[in-house]
Chain A
Amino acid sequence: MTRPFRIGIIAATAVAIFAPLLLVLVQSLLSGPFFGQNVHVTPDAFTYVFTDGDFWRALRNSVIISIGMTAIAVPVGAILAFLFVRSDLPGARWLEPLMLAPMFISSLVLSFGFVIAFGPVGIVSLWVRDMIGFVPWNLYSLHWLILIAGLTHVPHVFIYASSALRNLGSDVEDAARSTGAGPLRVVLTVSLPMVRPALLYSAVLVFFLGFELFGLPLVLADPQGVLVLATYLYKLTNILGVPSYQLMAVVVIVIVAIALPLVFLQRKLLATSDRYVSIKGKAGNQRRVAIGKWKWPALALIVAWLAFTVILPVAALVFRAFLSSWGEGAVLSESLTLEHFRELAGYPNLIRGIVNTFLVASVGGALSVGLYALISLAQHRWKSRWATFLDYSVLLPRAMPGIIAGLAIFWVFLFVPFLQPVRSTLISIWFAYTLVWMAYGMRLVQSSMLQIAPDLEEAGRICGATGAQVSRYVTLPLIRTGLMGAWLLIFVTFVREYSTGVYLLSPGTEVIGSLLVSQWATGAVDTVVALSTINIAMVMGGLFLLTIFRKKQNG
C-alpha cells in the first residue's frame, strides 16, 4: 500500500467519524434545526437542558445505575471466571459457552423477556403467586433495573477475567506456595493482583456501558417515569411539538463528554495490562483448585444466574409468541397458536424489517468487515502519526451509544445534499451500523492481522512485491479465516442491534431492532414477541454457524 493510498483511506475514515459529531456540536449551538429558517447561534439549548429537572434526574439515575451494575457485575463476573477457569467445577465445559449468551441477545429483546417472565402479570410472576399468594417483587423499580443491568453485564467481566486467569500459569502460584505462602495468601497476593488489570478494565467498561443503557430502561424504567440519559434523549424528540434538534444535540454532547474519558481510560488500562503478559509465567499446565463441598453451591449459583438472566426471559418470550394471549385465567391448551407470526405477513413494513435485517447483517456485515480490513491494512505495520491518529479516532464512535450515532448520522444524511437520496435506503442503516461497531470490528480484524509474523510480509517486499501486492498475496489470504469469523460475529451484532436504527427508521430502512422500539411504544405486544422470537432465531443461526466454523477450523 502506497503512502498516499494509506493517507487517503485514513482521512476518509476520519471524515466519516468526525463529520457527524461536528454536526452535533454545531446543532447544539443553534436556536432551531440546522436546516430551518432564521436559525441563529445561541446557548439557549444548553440553558434549557441544564435547567431542566428531568435532565438532572436522568443523569443522576444513569450514574446510580452505572455504579450499581458495576458493583454487581464485577464481583459476580470475577467469581464465575474463577470457578470456570481455575476450579474443578462440575460441568464447566458444558456451561461455559452459555456464559456469554446475554452478550449476544439484544438487550431490548431481553428486556421484553423480563417483562413477560417477571412483570406484574408475567408468566413466572403468576406462577409464583399461585404458590405463595402474592408476587414478591416489582419489576418496574430502579432496584430491579440495576440488578438486571448488573447481571446481564456479567459476561463483559467474565470474558476479560477468564482470559486473564487462563493466561496465568500455575507456576507463579506454585512459586509462591513453595516460598511458604498458604493458598488464601497466594490468591490474595499473587493471583488477584495479576488479574487486577483485567478486572479494572472490565469495571470501567461496565460503568461506561451503564451510560449507554437504552433498551433496559426504556422497557423497565420508563413505565414508572424513571428516565436515564438515553431515554431522556429519546423523549426529547417531540417535547416541543417540533423536532427539538438543538436540545437533543446538547444531550448527545453530554453523553459523549462522559463516555470519551472513560474510553480513553479503558485504552490506557488495556495498554498497562499488556505489561503483565510477559510476566505471566507459563500457561498451559494449569492445575485446577479443588473447591470440595463448595462445588454444588457454586454450580447452583451459576445455574440460577443463567436461569434468571437468559433462560427464563428468553423461554417466556418465545413461549408467549406462540400464545394467543396471556393474562390471569388464560388456559394454555386453548391459547397455543401461530397467529402472531401469520399476522406479521399482513404488515409490509414488518416483513421489510425482517428482510432488511438479514440483508444488513449478511451482505452489509460482509461489506463492513471488508471495510474494516481495508482501514486496518491502511495502518497495518505503519509507524506514522497517521496510524496513531486513526487509532485514537476509532475510539470516538465507541464513545457514541448507538442511539446517538444513529441520530448524528441521520443529521448528516439530512444535511449533506448529495447524501439526501440515500437517507431512506438501507445504505444509511449500513453506514450507521458500520460506524457504531467500527472499534469492535477493527479489533476483530486487527487481532488476526497481528498474528501474522512481520517477517512474512517483509519477505514479500524483499521479493520485489509492492505493499498492495503483499497485502493480496500474503496478508489477506492468511487472515481469511479470521475475516470469516469476524463476519459471523458482525452478523450477530448487526442482527441484534436496535438503538442505532431508531432515528433512521423510515419506509425502506426498517430493521427488526428499530421496529421493536416503535412497536413497543404502540403497545403491540403480539407483534413485539413474534419479531423478538425471529430476532433470537437469527442470532442463534449466526452463533450456530460460528460454532460449526470454529469446530472446522480446529478440527
Chain B
Amino acid sequence: MAKLSVSDVHVRYGTNPVLKGVSIELADGEIIALLGRSGSGKSTLLRAIAGLEQPTQGTITIGDKTVFDHGCVNVPPEARNLGLVFQSYALWPHRTVRDNVGYPLKVRKMAAPQLRAQVDEVLDSVGLAEYGDRHPSELSGGQQQRVALARALVYRPPLILLDEPLSNLDAKLRDEARVWIRQIIKKYGLTGVFVTHDQVEAMGIADRIALLDGGQMVQSGTPEELYTSPNSFFAADFMGLNDCFEVTIEAIGGEQATCRLGEARIVGRDKSGKRPGEKARAVIRVESLRVVDGPGPARVPATLVTSVYVGSRWEHLFDVAGQQLRAFTTSRLPDAAHHLELPNGQLWIF
C-alpha cells in the first residue's frame, strides 16, 4: 500500500504555473528524494504535500486519508499529521529547545510528565540531551538542524518531509548529517520525502529519486537506475560529471546508434529517436572516459589542451574535432598525441 500518493498535482503562483501535473507513489518506509534545480518546483511539491500551498488541480493522499482533492477536500496543514524540517530550520527563537521540540505534543494535549519524557527521549536520540534548556541561538548550525529534526519526529508522524535540510551546513558536517538522517528515519520506520538540488545528497539519502524539471517529473527510479540509464538528456546531464558533445548519427541498429565524431566513429545507446544524418547530443560520464595510447574501436584521437592537478587526480581538457572533452587520470600525461576511449555501454545518444 502506498504511504503517500500524489496524483496530477498542479500549482500556480498567480498566472505562473510552477507544478504542471506531478504524480508520485511512495511505499511505506521508503525515502524519496525530490531532485531538481532551483525553480524546478521541488520545494513547491513538498509544500503542497504539507498543505502550505494550494494546488489548483490533483489529489494528495497520505496513508489511506485523502488530504487534498481539488474542489472537495483540503485538510489544513495542522491536521495532516506529518513532520516537516525547514531549510531555515524555523526554530522559534523565543522558546527553549525543549519548548520547541515539545510544542507538537503540547498542542496534542499530552500530559506534562509524559510530554517531558518523550521530548527527552527524542532529544537523546538526536544527541542533544544536554541542550534542552538552551535557546536556539545558543546552538551551532548542526545542532539547530538536529533540533528541527527532533521537533518533526517527536510526535511520530508516519510521514516526514525535509526541505533541503543540509544546505545550511558546511561540507564536512553535511556528509555526516546525510548518513545520520537516513539512519534515524529508517530507525523510526518513517516514510520520508527529501528535497535537494544536490544529486550526490539525493543518491546518498534516498531509496528512490524523482527528478523534476520545469514543474514536471522527468524521471523517477532508484539512484542506480537514474545514474546508469537516464532516459533524457536532462537526466543524463543532471546526474554526475559529464562530457557533452555533438555528433552526427550515421546508422541506427536496435538500441545502438553509430555516430561520427570528427573523422572517428563511435557507438552509443540510442535514446534520440532520430534518423541517420541528423545531429545528436552525446553524453558520457567523465569517469567512464579513458585516456589510451593508440587508436582502436570506440576510440577518438584527441589533442591535450591543458591539465590541472587537483590532489586525488589529474583533470585534463582535450580537443576532439573542435569540441572540448574532460577526462581524469591518476598520473601526469605527456605532451603527445592521445586517444580517448568512449565505451559504448556508457555513452548515450540523445
Contacts and interface: CB of A to CB of B under 8 A. Distances in A.
B55 to A, nearest CB: 14
A455 B86 contact: yes
B129 to A, nearest CB: 21
Interface of B: 50-52, 76-84, 86-88, 90-94, 103-104, 107-108, 151-152, 155
B151 A463 contact: yes
Contacts of A465: 78, 103, 107
Nearest to A456: B90
A453 B88 contact: yes
B76 A461 contact: yes
B103 A462 contact: no
A462 B94 contact: no
A473 B86 contact: no
A460 B103 contact: yes
A453 B93 CA distance: 11
Given A464-B107, A469-B107, A478 B84 contact: no
Contacts of B93: 478
Nearest to A455: B90
Nearest to A453: B88
Interface residues of A, number: 17
Contacts of A469: 107
Contact of A463 (B52, B87, B88, B107): B107
Q: Kindly name the residue among A459, A465, A469 whose own CB sees the greatest number of chain B CB atoms within 10 A.
A: A459
A411 B151 CA distance: 55
A459 B84 CA distance: 7
B76 A462 contact: no
A466 interface: yes
A458 B90 contact: yes
Interface in A456-488: 456, 458-466, 469, 473-474, 477-478
B86 A458 contact: yes
Nearest to A478: B94
Contact of A453 (B81, B90, B94, B152): B90
A478 B90 CA distance: 13
B155 A464 contact: yes
A502 B336 CA distance: 96
A11 B149 CA distance: 40
25 contacts: A453-B88, A453-B90, A455-B86, A455-B87, A459-B84, A459-B86, A459-B90, A461-B51, A461-B76, A461-B78, A462-B78, A462-B80, A463-B104, A463-B107, A464-B78, A464-B79, A464-B107, A464-B108, A464-B155, A465-B78, A465-B103, A465-B107, A466-B78, A469-B107, A473-B92
Given A459-B84, A462-B78, 6 more contacts: A455-B86, A460-B92, A461-B52, A462-B52, A462-B82, A464-B81
A440 to B, nearest CB: 27
A478 B94 CA distance: 7
Contacts of B50: 458, 462
Contacts of B94: 477-478
Contacts of B91: 459
Nearest to A474: B92
A18 to B, nearest CB: 29
B87 to A, nearest CB: 8
Contacts of A461: 51-52, 76-78
Contacts of A463: 78, 103-104, 107, 151, 155
Nearest to B14: A383
Contacts of A460: 92, 103
A199 B128 CA distance: 53
Nearest to B80: A462
B296 to A, nearest CB: 55
B103 A456 contact: no
Contacts of B155: 463-464
Contacts of A473: 92, 103
A477 B94 CA distance: 8
Contact of B83 (A455, A462, A477): A462
B77 to A, nearest CB: 4
Contacts of B79: 464
B221 to A, nearest CB: 29
A460 B151 CA distance: 10
Contacts of B84: 458-459, 462
Interface string A472-508: 0110011000000000000000000000000000000
A456 B88 CA distance: 9
B77 A462 contact: yes
B23 to A, nearest CB: 23
Contacts of B77: 458, 461-462
Contacts of B152: 462
Given A463-B103, A477-B94, A478-B94, A455 B82 contact: no
Q: Kindly name the residue among A464, A473, A474, A477 whose own CB sees the greatest number of chain B CB atoms within 10 A.
A: A464
Contact of A464 (B86, B87, B92, B104): B104
Nearest to B151: A463
Contacts of B83: 462
Contacts of B87: 455
Interface in A10-58: none
Nearest to B50: A462
A171 B93 CA distance: 33
Interface string A126-160: 00000000000000000000000000000000000
Nearest to B83: A462
B144 to A, nearest CB: 13
8 residue pairs, one from A and one from B, having the closest CB atoms: A455-B90, A459-B90, A463-B104, A461-B77, A462-B84, A465-B107, A455-B86, A464-B107
A123 B152 CA distance: 71
A473 to B, nearest CB: 7
A461 B50 CA distance: 10
Q: Kindly name the residue among A459, A462, A474 whose own CB sees the greatest number of chain B CB atoms within 10 A.
A: A462
Contacts of A474: 92
Contacts of A466: 76, 78
Contacts of A477: 94
A17 B92 CA distance: 36
A466 B81 CA distance: 12
B118 to A, nearest CB: 14
A459 B150 CA distance: 13
Given A453-B88, A466-B78, A477-B94, A458 B107 contact: no
Contacts of A462: 50, 52, 77-78, 80, 82-84, 152
A232 to B, nearest CB: 46
Interface string A433-467: 00000000000000000000101101111111110
